[in-house]
Structure 1
Amino acid sequence: MRTSVDALSDSLFRREDAPRDRATLMDLVFEQVTKEQIGDRGKLTSLLQKEWSASRDSERKLDLGLLLTDVLINQREWQRAKEVCQQLTGRYQRDSRPYLHLAVINMMMAVETMLSPETANSDDIEKMSKNAMDAWKEFKTKYEHAKGSTDSST
């Protein structure tokens, strides 16, 4: 079973500027994140977005989408992360992970709105909190279902 790390590894190692000595995945990620913080903030995001959009392999596309969502969350780009997650939940309805990401994103959006006096609106906060709870329930249901399927097959 391929993981998100495998997908990122494939993306980084295939790059034209990948190190010739095949550095570890963590070296490459650190290099990209460092470059992003110092200079071009969107380089890693752009790389993942491009790879995600171009991928035709279903598993790899899911892994890249989850990685892209993680990066966007870390960059506090809630709306873009939410849009990617919504595409993932629409396409991979049986996988619980996009729903977990969506719950985190919705909760972070609600908290950020609560902490910002100029944008604090109780209706918006309530809606975002409800969206987070709904996504959490969906995650929990799908996770428990998948866990039950695995338990019964062993």
Structure 2
Amino acid sequence: MSLAIGQVVPDFSAPATGDTTVTLSALKGQQVVIYFYPKASTPGCTTEGGDFRDRMAAFDAANTVVIGVSRDGLRAQENFKAKQDFNFALISDKDEAVCTLFDVIKLKKMYGKEHLGIERSTFLIDKEGKLAQQWRGVKVPGHAEEVLAAAQALHQQS
């Protein structure tokens, strides 16, 4: 089931870096960017995370929290965050509950073999908890800028 633009995103709680739990309802009143990436410490995911990291001051100014999500374990997420100096939480979604909620697990092909994996996707949730915008099948170059522009525009409307 895919979420529709304007629909309230169902609440969830998930383990995250820094020995924390991210609960969507606790972020009400702020905009939230949730981006899903296939695997910690791989080149595309490192670039994407760095692009968000380098724009955090602008996201903060637009009252927007950024959260990264993958199926990696917490230790892998902690190492990835520390090594890349990410200034936002990374969720460990080993049971795929958050991935399933956002419908980002897709059949992918690598080296001729099919497997289920995360389709690189980003979701912008407004301060009321409704889905404002979504990007699926994301290409990393220029993506963080596009998400930031959408977050800034949404912030200005509110």
TM-score by length of 2: 0.21
Bigger Rg, structure 1 or 2 = 1
TM-score by length of 1: 0.22
Higher RCO (CA < 8 A, seq sep 6+): 2
Q: Of Structure 1 and Structure 2, which has the larger fraction of its residues in strand?
A: 2
